[in-house]
């Protein structure tokens, strides 16, 4: 009987560091967990339920009207997912998207310049503050972009587009460096 395919992270072993002048860094983030939550529950109540389920370190990101992504670095056990789904019953539905999406971190002094080359979102901190998130396009690829720090962002993309997005981001980083960022 042939061996079953083994799970391999899509962007395993990839990282990019730009020149010291730009400080741009791209990194494949751990393929921990990514949950899609839909319902009438408010973010504060969702955070309380996540803490009860042992997911207090997960971040909650708006993904649309009454929709959130819950992202974290640690893998989620089936028992934890079932406990969270039970706790949210009647308030929200939860779907595990961990297998279908990949997270990419972008940081550095010129991270906003890099992203401005591929998306129309205004990333000025006064408009898109830390903790903000939005569904958008980077080039032709649909992503969720979240600001995780002053000069750091996280992009969540469908797994099948992760390598294409990675190559596009590297190209944009090279272009940002040439622009004297």
The CATH class that applies to domain 33-96 reads: alpha beta
pTM attached to this predicted model = 0.88
pLDDT tens-place string over residues 2-23: 676 666 778 877 778 876 666 8
Give Cα separations from 35 to 11, 83, 92, 103, 119 (angstroms): 20, 13, 12, 13, 24
pLDDT tens-place string over residues 105-140: 999 988 999 999 999 999 999 999 999 999 999 999
pLDDT of 181: 47
The arithmetic mean of pLDDT across residues 148-177, rounded, is: 91
Please state, rounded to an integer, the average pLDDT across all residues of the chain: 89
The CATH number of 15-30+101-178 is: 3.30.1360.120
pLDDT of 21: 66
Give Cα separations from 7 to 11, 12, 100, 104, 167 (angstroms): 12, 11, 12, 18, 22
Domain boundaries, the chain: 15-30+101-178, 33-96
């Amino acid at each position: 009987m042939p061996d079953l395919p083994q799970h391999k992270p899509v962007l395993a072993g990839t990282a990019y560091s730009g020149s010291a002048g730009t400080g741009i860094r791209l990194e494949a983030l751990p393929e921990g967990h990514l949950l899609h939550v839909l319902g009438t529950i408010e973010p504060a109540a969702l955070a309380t339920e996540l803490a009860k389920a042992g997911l207090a370190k997960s971040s909650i990101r708006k993904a649309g009207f009454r929709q959130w992504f819950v992202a974290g670095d640690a893998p989620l056990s089936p028992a934890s997912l079932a406990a969270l789904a039970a706790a949210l019953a009647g308030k929200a539905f939860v779907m595990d998207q961990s297998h279908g999406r990949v997270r990419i971190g972008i940081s550095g002094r010129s991270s906003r310049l890099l992203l401005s080359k591929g998306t129309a979102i205004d990333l000025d901190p006064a408009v898109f503050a830390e903790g903000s998130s939005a569904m958008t396009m980077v080039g032709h690829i649909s992503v969720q972009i979240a600001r995780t720090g002053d000069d750091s962002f996280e992009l969540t993309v469908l797994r099948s587009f992760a390598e294409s997005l990675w190559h596009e981001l590297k190209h944009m980083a090279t272009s940002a460096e040439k622009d004297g960022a």
